[in-house]
Amino acid sequence: MPKVVRNGAGQPLREALERQHLTLDQLSEKTKQVDPEGRGVSPATIARLTGRGTTARERTELRTAWLITEALDDRMHALFSRMPTHSTVTVERSSSDAEEE
């Protein structure tokens, strides 16, 4: 599944929680309500995404970001950014493919 990066080292997430007067546990419960599977996002994962210390996490699964965004009724691009795609090129070429016979 694709990964996304939290914006602003988690500051927009922290601000969204503060604006809505939500604890990590309360946000976790809200993610269960919007999750079609009913699992939601754990308070520990939310803590890592909103954290600032050594346990803070910059990247997360797109599904996790979607659940948090939906639960906060916020815009995805305000809280998370898409990761750049990884290159699959692993071989250096000394000549272009067109020159090869």
Higher pLDDT, 65 or 1: 65
Residue 89 has pLDDT above 70, yes or no: no
Q: What is the maximum span of the chain, computed from C-alpha positions, in angstroms?
A: 67
Q: What does the pLDDT look like over 13-66, one tens digit per residue?
A: 999 999 999 999 999 999 999 999 999 999 999 999 999 989 999 999 999 999
pLDDT given at position 99: 55
Report all structural domains of the chain as residue ranges with CATH numbers, in order of start: 3-82 (1.10.260)
- Do the strands 59-61 and 80-82 form a parallel or antiparallel pair, or are they unpaired? unpaired
Residue 81 CA to residue 94 CA, distance in Å, equals 35
pTM recorded for the entire structure:
0.78
Residue type, 81: S
Q: How confident is the model at residue 94 (pLDDT cuts 50, 70, 90)?
A: low
